Amino acid sequence: MRRRAFFVFFIIAVIVINFTLTPVIVLADGEDDAIEAFQNIDATSIKAKSFILMDAKSGRVILDNNSHDRLSIASVTKIMTMLLIMEALDAGRISLKDKVLVSENSFRAGKGTSSVFLEPGEEFSVEGMLKAIAIASANDAAVAMAEKIAGSEEAFVALMNKRAKELNMKDTNFLDCTGLTDEGHYSSAFDVGIMSRELLTKYPQITKYSAVWMDTFEDGVTSLTNTNKLVRYYDGCIGLKTGYTQKAGHNLSAAAARNNLTLISVVLGEPDKDIRFADSKRLLNFGFANYEQLKANSKNEVIGEIEVKKCVKNTVRAVCRDDVVLLIEKGTGDKITRRVMLEERLIAPVKEGQRVGRIVYLQGDTEIGGVDLVADSNADKATFLRLYIEMIMKWFGIGRQ
């Protein structure tokens, strides 16, 4: 009887110990991300020195910590490099089929670093170089493209800093187009989010390259494997860019799109390459689990009418300049209020597209979106004779009321 009781006690003890000591299970790549999607995130749970989660369409910041700290960003720099390449293509200064000459400088940039093993004197297309930068983070291709566009890497870096200033990236300074320089070359999670958003929203075709997991370089020999593992393992990932140096740590700007919502996650100064992917997934999961888009107004939607003085016609209609798409917490759509501000009256002439007011959307006292209201048509100034006739007609109670 004692032995039986001891045996029962022993089994119970083993079960209790197993439950007590069961380790936390870490999700493998590709497993269901929804398990942790609804968990709240605080700053201490993300190991990065700095991070931000941003809505790509509105630029609204969902979560951040130390997001304006100036840090080395390594190859995340190439987001600006790719932006300038796309802008040069858009302006017609280069084409995807143009040939790019490999210089000694671009060859040296690839030695001992991420590269596609370019040799001096070789020529490859702009598209081939862009693909190598977006997928494999090729430093030799980045320098070759900088020289193609601006004549030298130094001149290209000047363009990078000029563009950063135009985008109001206040915590950024570039010294090269690759991110290989640490001292004096820096940015912030917020600024990386800004340039990531600019690239994705202005040139969504960049995802033709940045979202590719594996490909082959134009030489037909060199394999290209995306440095951003989320492209393969995270549902909806569309790029963007990893980065690592010993000083910078492990960095990642990652973008993903689900249900018409595109989010950008930036983590800087992570202690480990796998942790940067895990933290990026957690941030993106949080965003997709808790936020959604609400289309509030459409472009050219009529919001009101405004009286126009000294005009051939009495009024113009105020319409939305653009679509209004709000980022809101799920289930809070009925708590959104709007405020319409229109000019009381206008004096002719009024030009089509002229700003005549604004509509803003509020959640509590916080503005979460808005758009300018513009005149939907011209309102020409009436001649003196026309105004005189109008006055006579009003005296006799005829004509427009």
CA dist 139 and 178 (Å) reads 6
Q: Give every strand in the sheet of 302-309, ordered side by side.
A: 336-342, 355-363, 366-375, 315-320, 302-309, 345-347
Q: What is the mean pLDDT of residues 10-23?
A: 37
Examine the pLDDT at 10 and tell me if it is beyond 90: no
Q: What is the mean pLDDT of residues 28-36?
A: 40
Sorted by where each begins, the domain ranges of the chain are 39-290, 298-395
CA dist 87 and 91 (Å) reads 6
Is the Cα torsion angle 181, 183, 189, 195 positive or negative in sign? Answer: negative
Residue 335 designated active-site = no
Model confidence pLDDT, tens digit, residues 42-82: 667 899 999 999 999 999 999 999 999 999 999 999 999 99
pLDDT in the model for residue 177: 98
Q: What is the mean pLDDT of residues 359-374?
A: 92
Q: How many CA atoms lie within 13 A of 67 on its CB side?
A: 19
Of 113 and 400, the structure prediction assigns the larger pLDDT to 113
Q: What is the mean pLDDT of residues 363-376?
A: 91
Examine the pLDDT at 339 and tell me if it is beyond 80: yes
CA dist 119 and 222 (Å) reads 13
Counting residues of the chain whose pLDDT is more than 70, the rounded percentage is 84
32: confidence class by pLDDT, cuts 50, 70, 90: very low
Q: Which is the catalytic residue, given 72, 103, 114, 137?
A: 137
Q: Which is the catalytic residue, given 50, 57, 72, 78?
A: 78
pLDDT in the model for residue 392: 63
17: confidence class by pLDDT, cuts 50, 70, 90: very low
CA dist 228 and 242 (Å) reads 6
pLDDT in the model for residue 8: 38
Model confidence pLDDT, tens digit, residues 180-239: 998 999 999 999 999 999 999 999 999 999 999 999 999 999 999 999 999 999 999 999
Is the Cα torsion angle 379, 384, 389, 390 positive or negative in sign? Answer: positive
Range scoring the smallest mean pLDDT among 7-11, 23-27, 76-80, 392-396 = 23-27
33: confidence class by pLDDT, cuts 50, 70, 90: very low
Examine the pLDDT at 11 and tell me if it is beyond 60: no
- Cβ partners under 8 Å of residue 276, min gap 6: 48, 242, 250, 251, 252, 267, 270
Residue 223 designated active-site = no
Residue 75 designated active-site = yes
CA dist 267 and 83 (Å) reads 20
Indicate left, alpha or beta for 131 from its phi (over 0: left) and psi (-120 to 50: alpha).
Answer: alpha
Residues shown for the chain: 401
CATH number of 39-290: 3.40.710.10
pLDDT in the model for residue 350: 84
pLDDT in the model for residue 21: 32
Superfamily per CATH, domain 298-395: D-Ala-D-Ala carboxypeptidase, C-terminal domain (2.60.410.10)
Range scoring the smallest mean pLDDT among 13-27, 33-47, 149-163 = 13-27
153: confidence class by pLDDT, cuts 50, 70, 90: very high
Rounded to the nearest integer, the mean pLDDT of the chain is 87
Name the residue among 262, 260, 354, 264 with its Cα closest to residue 311: 354
Q: Which is the catalytic residue, given 72, 75, 114, 115?
A: 75
pLDDT in the model for residue 397: 62
8 Å CB contact between 106 and 140: yes
Examine the pLDDT at 351 and tell me if it is beyond 50: yes
Model confidence pLDDT, tens digit, residues 270-315: 999 999 999 999 999 999 999 999 999 999 999 998 888 877 778 8
Examine the pLDDT at 6 and tell me if it is beyond 60: no
